[in-house]
């Protein structure tokens, strides 16, 4: 599912892959509305965030696999302090740490859409929501979360 207007204020830095391209498949996947997670071809282990080497077996043979955009809130925080000048008049907003059962419960950070004052429960089911910025230079997409 895609979001409507941007969750956070305009003026934040545009997320791009590192110069070495490590996370490039992740960002390209988001642009296509797909959530990709690294998986080791040697031991089948999942991992997040992106790395050049498998944490389990030290193989360099890693793949990017699309996973269902469904997860559970593992932890969360309501952010009041503006961590960037563009957020000066924005707060609060809710950041969630989401575990993905489809990928051996690797955990991803994201924003929780909806009322920034909403009650948040550990373990609540969430679904990914893609926020496309097609007119940005370069274009990018963010993966947010909403209660399922
Ligand atoms: Zn491995």
HSE (side-chain half, CA atoms, 13 Å) at 109: 4
pLDDT number for residue 120: 97
Single pTM value for the model? 0.92
Q: How many Cα atoms within 13 Å fall on the side-chain side of residue 11?
A: 10
Neighbours of ion ligand 1 (CB under 5 A): 40, 42-43, 45, 54, 56-57, 59
Question: Ligand 1 centre and the CA of 85: distance in Å?
Answer: 40
> What is the Cα–Cα distance from 98 to 70, expressed in whole angstroms?
9
- 83: helix, strand or coil: coil
Q: Given this model, what pLDDT does residue 89 score? A: 86
Distance (Å) from CA 49 to ligand 1 centroid: 14
Q: Which two tokens stand for residue 58?
A: 């030290």
Contact 79, 55 (CB under 8 A): no
Q: pLDDT (tens digit, 9 = 90+) per residue, 40-96? A: 999 999 999 999 999 999 999 999 999 999 999 999 999 999 889 998 888 899 999
Task: Say how far apart CA 68 and CA 31 lie, in whole Å.
Answer: 16
pLDDT in tens, 68-83: 999 999 999 999 998 8
β-strands 106-111, 62-66: how paired? unpaired
Gap from CA of 62 to ligand 1 centroid (Å): 8
- CA angle 16/44/33 to nearest 5° reads 35
């Amino acid at each position: 599912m895609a979001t409507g207007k941007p969750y956070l204020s305009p003026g934040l830095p545009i997320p791009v892959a590192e110069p070495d391209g490590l996370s490039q498949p992740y960002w390209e996947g988001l642009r296509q509305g797909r959530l990709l997670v690294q998986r080791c071809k040697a031991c089948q282990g999942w991992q997040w965030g992106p790395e050049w080497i498998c944490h389990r077996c030290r193989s360099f043979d890693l793949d990017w696999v699309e996973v269902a955009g469904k997860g559970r809130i593992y932890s969360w925080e309501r952010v009041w302090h503006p961590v960037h000048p563009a957020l000066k008049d924005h707060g609060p907003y809710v950041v969630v740490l989401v575990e993905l059962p489809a990928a051996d419960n690797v955990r991803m950070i994201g924003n929780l859409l909806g009322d920034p004052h909403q009650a948040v429960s550990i373990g609540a089911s969430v679904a990914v929501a893609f926020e496309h910025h097609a007119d940005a230079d370069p274009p990018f997409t963010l993966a947010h979360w909403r209660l399922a």
